[in-house]
Structure 1
């Protein structure tokens, strides 16, 4: 395989994990971050202790605090920043991009302004500026620390061009990180965002003593309702059996490593979402995703009992203990 020059925007947990995969595969990776301490830790110690303590990274990973330097020779750019930071990163790509590059997104979120998928916003902003060769995404059940520890992981390379999806999959794939191609970018994108709300519900359920039967049922309900929404954007039903949709949903809604699942447990403990959410400096992804899903369903007149009930719990002071069983009573499955 030809060595590729890859810029990863963001020195967070997942960006670092992907950097490790790609350097393991022999590619030249330069990470960009705004936290000088993290950048120095990566360069000098081959660590990112903010996320992985003493786990050693591939010594060939390099990092910089200068976006222009990161993009100077890049053929592929991976966006590994929170959704709220994407706009600023795109501005930087437009300013410093030297050539047409493959843009790969890992942010799991939607476009609140237009109640649409984030990919459309990114493509529209970068189009006709000679910086974007293609746009795609990497989604799937991939807890960052497990990837850094080189535990078996399977994800999807999402691109509307199958040939490019396959090419990107090959660049990432090795003996522990398996990547499969799909052309259903939109379906994977919506699933990746909305599954976080299902994870919060699953945590609430577990906090109130719900056992395995209930958890399996809840995951089924969540998968079905996410598909109902995604279908309106052109998603394919078979996507909801792949790693980006079903796989990531199962992980996020059942793992103690999931921030959204953990938030659900906290909400159950206090039986009050508002009190718990006040203690969080930043909005947990599933809370924000719930609001957007609720708005999309209202706009498109989609019946979605799951997101309506979760919206009551997270935004309208609904008592979780009084509402959680309604998720089953009002379930709509495909």
Structure 2
């Protein structure tokens, strides 16, 4: 069994800590707020993020980042995208041994358009304390993971042996982990599905039904693959857990904070009002900005993303955005997403 640090005690960080504890690992769970850590250590709960869930007693909480990572060879990073760089900068100074950083966040950085693994690599450049970077992604609501309901995710890394080692850390009878060598595709799928989930929630808030949701999800998957292939991802990845799988779970469940955010926008609330009411990070908002910027730069057509960008950042109403999408010029459904041809020996 191993000792593992989980950095970030939100709903997903706590859920992953539970999986690790179930597998017999000693888990150090870090959070900023002392009252949250006191609750985790004394009551073995984390009510703000996971009401009515009892945490294994082998999970120990701390607000001391140095204590959390001391001697750890595996660090699971579960912080919002906007906090990744600052957190990794601290880790760089505090690590006492060479460690693998496993990130389980889903987003793209605005302006730089970097994926999270790229951000980590930049901040750890020239450090002798970084072993590997692995992403853990897939269709996984924290609430259901904590109830030990069957869940499947993907472990991906440029070093497939590191991905396999992380697979071994997490896999159990309730939490099945597959490996995938396509790091770019796995990260992009996990990030962009939040844009589509926001849009599905928004159309539901407008009063539209299942026909609309099916259209948004299907064409959203095409957008995801189109951008992914332009950045070097494998098309088949987007038919897997971190693409289609994550898209389904995030677009169809009220557990999804991105869906809930979109739903409230569709009902007429402003973005500021929605974010204040939710009180949690909605990754899809920043990801929409970053993805729209990146698609524009690469000249990749992403009409759903462009429409949502206008709603979030240009004061276009959801009704106007929907009308614009439906009024686009006629298209062929079966369109090539690139000149890339998949052959049997390429995947």
TM range (shorter): over 0.9
Question: Match of 2:223?
Answer: 225
Question: Match of 1:207?
Answer: 205
1:22 aligned to which of 20, 36, 42? 20
SS at match of 1:111: coil
Within 5 Å, which residues of 2 pair with 1:238-253?
Answer: 238-253=236-251
Shift of 1:184: 1.1
Question: Match of 1:285?
Answer: 283
1:159 aligned to which of 149, 152, 157? 157
| 2: CA distance, partners of 1:126 / 1:98 | 14
2:235 aligned to which of 226, 234, 237? 237
Shift of 1:276: 4.4
TM-score (norm 2): 0.90
SS at match of 1:174: coil
| 2: CA distance, partners of 1:108 / 1:165 | 17
**Residue 73 of structure 1 pairs with residue 49 of structure 2:** no
SS at match of 1:63: strand
* Bigger mean CA offset, 13-22 vs 87-96: 87-96
Shift of 1:238: 0.9
Shift of 1:248: 0.9
Question: Match of 1:47?
Answer: 45
| 2: CA distance, partners of 1:249 / 1:78 | 23
| 2: CA distance, partners of 1:212 / 1:322 | 20
Shift of 1:80: 0.8
Question: Match of 2:140?
Answer: 142
Q: Where does the alignment leave 5 or more consecutive residues of structure 2 unmatched?
A: 338-347
| 2: CA distance, partners of 1:326 / 1:192 | 27
Shift of 1:225: 0.3
Distance of aligned partners of 1:113 and 1:145 in 2 relative to their CA distance in 1, 3 Å threshold = same
Question: Match of 1:89?
Answer: 87
| 1: CA distance, partners of 2:51 / 2:270 | 31
2:117 aligned to which of 105, 119, 126? 119
Q: Where does the alignment leave 5 or more consecutive residues of structure 1 unmatched?
A: none
- 8 Å CA contact 1:150–1:176 kept in 2: the answer is yes
Distance of aligned partners of 1:86 and 1:275 in 2 relative to their CA distance in 1, 3 Å threshold = closer
Q: CA RMSD in A?
A: 1.9
Report the count of equivalent residues: 331
Shift of 1:275: 6.7
2:100 aligned to which of 90, 96, 102? 102
SS at match of 1:49: coil
Shift of 1:257: 1.1
SS at match of 1:116: coil
| 2: CA distance, partners of 1:161 / 1:327 | 41
